[in-house]
Structure 1
């Protein structure tokens, strides 16, 4: 199936009224990102047109990248029994085979400044194989009360190209407390995406299939004990306080560490998870923390997601990353998102 690239979208933000919590959830807020086939094609045009120029020119998102005051203790505790959702293994071969965790990539969007930006994102197991996880503020804009504009996910992103397709965001799901109260203990988002698309030199869009069918999807885990070993994956690109700039954001970087509790009073966050980390905040927002990651299968269980970093020892180098603690309330938001169908943006 093919369609032709259309006129560029003009809106910067697609906002909607806060949805009532879904039945059985503890408090999910849901916002539309791109709601029609026509607008989704326009979003794909914006990113894939002109040889992917807007992808190549996007800069790492620089909102809430670091924390000034951190308390390295906290009240992050399980609110129920531990649980898991198993990953979906990636298909053999393909453009992104053997290059880090299955389904890791960049989320792109237009920020409140009208410019293209990106964070890190991760494809997730879901009923319709169409879900992406990232930091809440890499999908929701507090100032305008809605989703960030022209939101897309590019797994295996490389140098302005989308080797496994570009996936336009359809619906954003986050915890009610994040948009309502600015509570960064709930700074996480799950976004449903339409089937991926690729673009020909002539400007025709071709359906690339469902996200997880193409690249695999990570599992999910919640209510896990702290002091767990995790592998962290992201695209750090920012500058440390001393001015050093060790990563460019062009390649996927990784490190391993053990989780601990933390608080950030300025973010109204008392139940954060911390890990020793050499990443600056810009570019690494949304980075996945995978529990029981297996390099051979390229799969594990999403256990946390970077929302900010800090220099806790005063040496002018960022040394810790922070995430909301994944508890049963996160699992409820995921459960509301996981059953939402998206479909294709390419007309038969």
Structure 2
């Protein structure tokens, strides 16, 4: 769906949840574009279940965002200084971390960071990095614009977008937060201007999924149910299958009855079996691999008198003077294609009730970073993200499993990338690769409070020294127009899923 441009002072005619969601953004100016994502709570619940089912299988299957190709990872160009469009400003962070006086040597990762997961226009499950950011309703996520809009498909919004703070190998410790509405700059929406590659997404209250009770239901009840459900394939006998069909049950057969077939030893899938034969046949049989050839030495077994008398096979029977009974067996090779046996099944249908539990607001659970705009360049920032992609030369230094960080001064000059027509980015010396895109650039980060001010998001990955390795990353410069987009998103309510 295309962007909904929110005019300055304009009136939007909308109904239902869309009207409620957009109400808080009514004062946004023409720089802001907004787009609904999961428009209803029912739709949002289904999205959360999509990612959480089967112990987070879809989350585990997702791979890092990979919109950059090797040609894009090029050298940045200095563009000179930057003139602020408004006065510098900031919005304070929110959080419950207590300040300590202890000297901390290691970097304390912020609770606010995590991964955003989505499905792109190719149907691929992908992820980027992101953070919770301060907002009126404590329901806002900051990430890169290309982690929200599918630039490969005319900037359509990606589907099934969720944020999982503290994500680790399929686990969502603070719940899954489904995106309700995405906000970005109009120039990114219309022109794919990477100078505006940032986005703010309002999310529903988080949901914790698990511990539900499965109840067996009819097929009609199963199809009607909108929540989590499951189908179990149960094997039954042929008699049960025939009875089921008479009662119009949901039964079916798979395969067909086929007798084994004699084939050659080189037939694909041929299985070696042994055939018992008479002694004279065995004595005349050849050795080596092939039908009718000997397989092993004759086998003599001691048996009871009853077994001796009952045996009617081609082997030789003997009874000695002491009354001991023996049977000697002779075997030749028989190479066969195994037969098949038709199997019968019935489907049983289950719905899972009480599965989703409200996890509360994002900011209440993990806090929210502050926001800063029109700040001087050349300042220290700490950048967080989940890098996973290999460097352009193929070297893979990261796994994407745990978050990483970089620290340093941003470039005093603005930089550009010819590959993405970028003119106004700031850069930082850092070797993180894709997967880290969307991660926050935190100004004035407090290691004890684990809070700072979002003053950028990772947008591009660059190779300044030409050795085939990423050594710089860049972010759009956050100016007054960025603040306008942020404020439009920060004042929009989203609500609960359950």
Aligned match for 1:178, one of 188, 200, 203: 188
1:163 aligns with 2:169: no
Secondary structure in structure 1 of the residue aligned to 2:453: strand
Tell me what 1:124 maps to.
133
Give the whole-Å Cα distance in 2 for the aligned partners of 1:76 and 1:299.
Answer: 27
Secondary structure in structure 1 of the residue aligned to 2:43: helix
Tell me what 1:135 maps to.
144
Deviating more after overlay: 138-147 vs 68-77: 68-77
Spell out the pairing of 1:46-85 with structure 2 (5 A cutoff): 46-64=50-68, 66-85=72-91
Residues 90 and 102 of structure 1 are in contact (CA less than 8 Å); yes or no, is this contact kept in structure 2?
Answer: no
Tell me what 1:205 maps to.
356
Could you give the per-residue CA deviations for residues 253-285 of structure 1, whole angstroms, max 9, x where no partner exists? 0110111121113322211110001111x2111
Aligned match for 2:416, one of 256, 263, 282: 263
Spell out the pairing of 1:81-96 with structure 2 (5 A cutoff): 81-90=87-96
Give the whole-Å Cα distance in 1 for the aligned partners of 2:83 and 2:418.
Answer: 18
CA gap of 1:310–1:145, structure 2 versus 1, over 3 A, is: closer
Tell me what 1:35 maps to.
39
CA gap of 1:294–1:17, structure 2 versus 1, over 3 A, is: closer
Structure 1 unpaired stretches of 5+: 1-14, 93-97
Poorly superposed stretches of 4+, deviation over 4 Å: none
Give the whole-Å Cα distance in 2 for the aligned partners of 1:176 and 1:75.
Answer: 24
Residues 3 and 189 of structure 2 are in contact (CA less than 8 Å); yes or no, is this contact kept in structure 1?
Answer: no
Give the whole-Å Cα distance in 2 for the aligned partners of 1:17 and 1:185.
Answer: 18
Secondary structure in structure 1 of the residue aligned to 2:141: strand
Could you give the per-residue CA deviations for residues 197-256 of structure 1, whole angstroms, max 9, x where no partner exists? 001132500000000000000000010111010001000001012221111010010110
CA gap of 1:150–1:159, structure 2 versus 1, over 3 A, is: same
Give the whole-Å Cα distance in 1 for the aligned partners of 2:136 and 2:389.
Answer: 35
Q: What's the offset of the Cα at 1:125?
A: 0.2
1:195 aligns with 2:192: no
Tell me what 1:18 maps to.
4
CA gap of 1:243–1:17, structure 2 versus 1, over 3 A, is: closer
Tell me what 2:17 maps to.
none
Q: Greater Rg, structure 1 or structure 2?
A: 2
Residues 90 and 212 of structure 1 are in contact (CA less than 8 Å); yes or no, is this contact kept in structure 2?
Answer: no
CA gap of 1:122–1:323, structure 2 versus 1, over 3 A, is: same
Could you give the per-residue CA deviations for residues 175-195 of structure 1, whole angstroms, max 9, x where no partner exists? 000011111100100000000
Structure 2 unpaired stretches of 5+: 9-26, 99-106, 213-351
Aligned match for 2:427, one of 274, 280, 288: 274
Could you give the per-residue CA deviations for residues 58-116 of structure 1, whole angstroms, max 9, x where no partner exists? 10010136433521334543111110000002367xxxxx9511310000000111021
Residues 21 and 29 of structure 1 are in contact (CA less than 8 Å); yes or no, is this contact kept in structure 2?
Answer: no
CA gap of 1:286–1:332, structure 2 versus 1, over 3 A, is: same
Tell me what 1:104 maps to.
113
CA gap of 1:315–1:69, structure 2 versus 1, over 3 A, is: closer
Aligned match for 1:153, one of 160, 163, 183: 163
Residues 26 and 332 of structure 1 are in contact (CA less than 8 Å); yes or no, is this contact kept in structure 2?
Answer: no
Residues 95 and 451 of structure 2 are in contact (CA less than 8 Å); yes or no, is this contact kept in structure 1?
Answer: yes
Residues 462 and 473 of structure 2 are in contact (CA less than 8 Å); yes or no, is this contact kept in structure 1?
Answer: yes
Give the whole-Å Cα distance in 2 for the aligned partners of 1:110 and 1:217.
Answer: 26
Residues 45 and 497 of structure 2 are in contact (CA less than 8 Å); yes or no, is this contact kept in structure 1?
Answer: yes
Across the aligned residues of Structure 1 and Structure 2, the Cα RMSD in angstroms comes to 1.6
Residues 76 and 325 of structure 1 are in contact (CA less than 8 Å); yes or no, is this contact kept in structure 2?
Answer: no
Give the whole-Å Cα distance in 1 for the aligned partners of 2:67 and 2:155.
Answer: 15
Spell out the pairing of 1:224-303 with structure 2 (5 A cutoff): 224-260=375-411, 261-280=414-433, 282-303=434-455
Tell me what 2:258 maps to.
none
Q: TM-score, normalised by structure 1?
A: 0.90
Deviating more after overlay: 182-191 vs 22-31: 22-31
Tell me what 1:342 maps to.
494
